[in-house]
Structure 1
Amino acid sequence: MQYKEIPKYYLKVPIKGAKTIEKGKWAKQPVKGKIKTGGTTWSTEVKFRGAHILSFPKKSYDLEFSKKQDFNGAVKIHLNAEYVDPSLMRNKLSLDFFREIGVLSPEADYIVLYINNLYQGIYLALESVDKRFLRKRGLPEGSIYYAISENANFSKYNPTTKKKKRSITAGYEIKYDQDHSFNNLRKLMKCILTASENDFPPKIERLLDVEQYFKWLAGAVCTQNFDGFIHNYALYKNGDSGRFEILPWDYDATWGRDIHGDIMGNRYVPIEGYNSLTARLLLHRPFKRQYKKIMEEVLEDAFTCRALEQKIFQLHKNLRPYLVKDPYKHRSLSLFDDEPDFILDFIKSRNRYLKERLTRLQ
């Protein structure tokens, strides 16, 4: 198994001293800087990203670039520290897995980050889901909405408080929309929330790519991202078909571990997943059969040790030399070395559990 070198990113920002960087109090607001990789330098604005992860010693960053001098075709990239994941590979493994099963998914590649020549360790560079994301893939222009909180559960009510939300588009932000409005999303939500049982199937099929949604659902269920059903996703309305597609985002709490990096049992998420849209779809037998067929195919092929083992061990081999030197590594090196087998054991047990539950989709 050949070792792959990880590219180095050198970020220069107008701050002084290692302690300033280590304390992480300098990028709550955008800071102008320059980033160099592969012999080319770009001007950028950098700031911290995330909410609860701001408390971690190893920060994550958003980098924004000028449209006149984009970064290899991108105007924004996200640098994720993957701090709580002892394998450092769950997010990338998930996003690549979604792509394998036919779901639009952002690219995710590892980089090594230096800030003012101080080594910061391994980061995962994530592609932003925006107009450039669509253009790069030759996809029609269309509205893009990010699900940013648990309110994005396709329901009138907050899943935690059970109180009625202030609007049916609560929990979302507009990433791109020509009208700068939620009108397209509002049409989808009104169908989910108000269509009669008889009218629902034809109406939802005009607004949602149901087959693509079930592929996404199979991916979220297999990887067991508990939060992924009510936020941590993006919705893209294809400008040609007029139908929405759903994309995964932020999948580090997967493959047998939760948002704290602790072990999550392989039966934690049911085969139906969680959210009101899925619940409505699975009330209809043709949709239920469609999801079952997709899930059966995924469990026989993509979500198996046979399909994933080589990739898992290759990622582990590539990351290990950099993790040894990472000044912010959160867990022991021995735990990192155990993670490939841990993930493969999860795949075996999760696959077996889901196959046993296929009868629920009759």
Structure 2
Amino acid sequence: MIPSYDFFIHPMYIVELRKDVWSDDPVPAKLTYDKRKYDIDIVYRGSHIRKLKKKSYHVMFYKPKFFQGVQELHFNSEFNDPSLIRNKLSLDFFSDIGTLSPKAQHVLVKVNNRFEGVYLQLESVDENFLRRRNLPKGSIYYAVDDDANFSLVSELDKDIKKKLSLGYELKCGNEHSEGYISEFIYQLNTISRAAYEKKIVKYVDVDKYLRWLAGVVCTQNFDGFVHNYALYHNEETKLFEMIPWDYDATWGRDVQGRKMGHDYIRIQGFNTLSARLLDVDVFRKQYKKILKDILSHQFTVEYIKPKVEGMHEELRPHIVQDPYVKSKIDVFDSEPSLIFRYIEKRREFIREHLDKL
């Protein structure tokens, strides 16, 4: 049974939202869920997706303050993904291969009694994300632009960064958080090649980073290397971990929803940290072993097929009612086979290139 959310936004505030889709200033609204009412703030979310007909929403709870243990939720329209399942499929895949990953579930959304269709409800990556997993407190940083490239040089103006924390927005943390990220970026770039194996392990959980890298490489999220992620600095281990985010442009389709070739992204990935880690023989062998293991277990049609078919079957009755996508039901129906073909070809590509590591 897919959960259903009923939002009421006063028409005056709908006008306000539509007037400037790029505004991050929320408006008050009410949510009814399971016969209970909640006072919320709501605003459009995303970057390029704000221009789409089917809007995505960021919801913050303030009375009561918590909803099922969370203070905020993201509702993604997944409008550019004709399957509507790629984001969830990816985030679940990351979790299966040993990477911290937000929970996602499909839901039905009504706004002012009008059915807006099928959405993907995404867990916010914040202190509650850590609490629900019994993880130590720590700082969480969102990669908000291409300056989150693990480099000393800005991706945007090609000059030395004025601050090493550029490209990141602190979601939760303390007065030391900016120092942690700045030190990490500095060290990962300046530790000598000879000392890298011994010293970098003081700053990043290498095994988890390599698992995350394998996940990006398998799913082929082109933006995943310098964007589409959050960083978690664990206060107990003092190490950084990667958390994936925004993975609808995957499994054979790009950010515009167009078909993407299975050989678009090399298996070494991109960004400075990936390059420096894979320059170390021990880490390169470790990455190769992780990839081989994932190819044998989670990145197979046999493993993914029941997940895809289960979601497709559950969503289909609601897709034909969704005012934004019901006219594309034939494309929706052909998506599972497209995803399976992508997995087969991508597996072959990765296997062929393992020896180049």
* Contact persistence 2:249–2:255 (CA under 8 A): yes
Partner of 1:126: 122
**Larger mean Cα displacement after TM superposition, 263-272 or 151-160:** 151-160
Partner of 2:10 in structure 1?
A: 14
Q: Give how far 1:158 is off.
A: 3.5
What's the CA shift for 1:166? 3.1
SS at match of 1:247: strand
How far apart, in 1, do the equivalents of 2:54 and 2:19 lie?
12
Aligned residue for 1:198? 194
In structure 2, what is the equivalent of residue 102 of structure 1?
98
- Alpha-carbon distance, 1:159 to partner: 3.9
Q: Is the 8 A contact 1:235 1:247 kept in 2?
A: yes
Q: 2:346 aligned with 1:350, yes or no?
A: yes
Q: Aligned residue for 2:65? A: 69
After TM superposition, the structure 1 stretch with the greater mean CA deviation from structure 2, 67-76 or 37-46, is 67-76
Question: How far off is 1:66 after superposition?
Answer: 2.5
Report the TM-score when normalising by structure 2.
0.95
SS at match of 2:62: coil
> CA 1:244–1:181 in 2, change beyond 3 Å: closer, same or farther?
closer
Check if 1:30 corresponds to 2:26: yes
1:211 deviates by 0.2
Q: Does 1:43 align with 2:39?
A: yes
Deviations 1:115-153 (A, max 9, x none): 111110011000001000000110000011011111111
One-letter code aligned to 2:328: S
Q: Check the 8 A contact 1:86/1:330 in 2, yes or no.
A: no
What SS is found at the alignment partner of 1:357?
A: helix
Which of residues 148, 171, 177 in structure 1 aligns to 2:173?
177
Return 83-92 or 153-162, whichever deviates more: 153-162
After superposition, what is the alpha-carbon deviation per residue over 1:248-303, rounded to whole angstroms, capped at 9, x for unaligned? 00000000110000011000000001110000001110010010000100011100
Aligned match for 2:152, one of 156, 166, 190: 156
Shift of residue 178, structure 1, vs aligned partner: 1.5
Equivalent AA in structure 2 for residue 139 of structure 1? L
2:248 corresponding residue in structure 1: 252
What is the root-mean-square deviation in Å for CA atoms of aligned residues?
1.8
- Would the alpha carbon gap of residues 173 and 330 (structure 1) be closer, same or farther in structure 2, given more than 3 Å must change? farther
Give the C-alpha shift of residue 38 in structure 1. 1.3
- Tell me if structure 2 keeps the 8 A contact 1:157–1:164: yes
After alignment, is 163-172 or 35-44 more displaced?
163-172
**Of the candidates 208, 215, 228, which is equivalent to residue 204 of structure 2?**
208
Pick from 280, 286, 292 the counterpart of residue 296 of structure 1: 292
Distance in 2 of aligned mates of 1:319 and 1:14: 29
- The CA distance in 1 between the partners of 2:315 and 2:101, in whole Å, is 22
| Alpha-carbon shift at residue 44 of structure 1 (Å) | 0.6
SS at match of 2:320: helix
Counterpart-to-counterpart distance in 2, 1:25 and 1:233: 30
Tell me the CA shift for residue 163 of structure 1. Answer: 3.5
Matched-pair contact (CA < 8 Å) for 2:217–2:267: yes
> What is the distance in 2 between the residues matched to 1:187 and 1:291?
25
User: Which residue is equivalent to 1:220?
Assistant: 216
- Greater Cα offset, 274-283 or 49-58: 49-58
d(CA) in 1 for partners of 2:107, 2:100: 22
* Cα-to-partner distance string for 1:166-208 (whole Å, 9 max, x where unaligned): 3222111001112164111111111111111122222210111
TM-score, normalised with respect to structure 1? 0.94
Look up the match of 2:321.
Answer: 325
Of 101-110 and 59-68, the range deviating more from structure 2: 59-68
> Contact conserved, 1:33 with 1:44, CA < 8 A, in 2?
yes
Cα deviation for residue 330 of structure 1 reads 8.0
CA positional deviation for 1:342: 0.1
Residue 93 of structure 1, aligned match among 79, 85, 89: 89
Q: Structure 1 residues 20, 118: CA separation in 2 closer, same or farther (over 3 Å shift)?
A: farther
Pick which of 332-341 and 197-206 moved more.
197-206
Partners of 2:280 and 2:88 lie apart in 1 by 34
CA, structure 1 residues 100+67, in 2 after alignment: closer, same or farther (shift >3 Å)?
farther
Give the distance between the partners of 2:264 and 2:156, measured in 1 at CA.
Answer: 18
Report the alpha carbon displacement of residue 39 of structure 1 after superposing the two structures with TM.
Answer: 1.8
Amino acid at match of 1:64: M
- Structure 2 residues without counterparts, runs of 5 or longer: none
Q: How far apart, CA to CA, are the structure 2 residues paired with 1:67 and 1:114?
A: 20
Match of 1:136 in 2: 132
CA offset at residue 160 of structure 1? 6.2
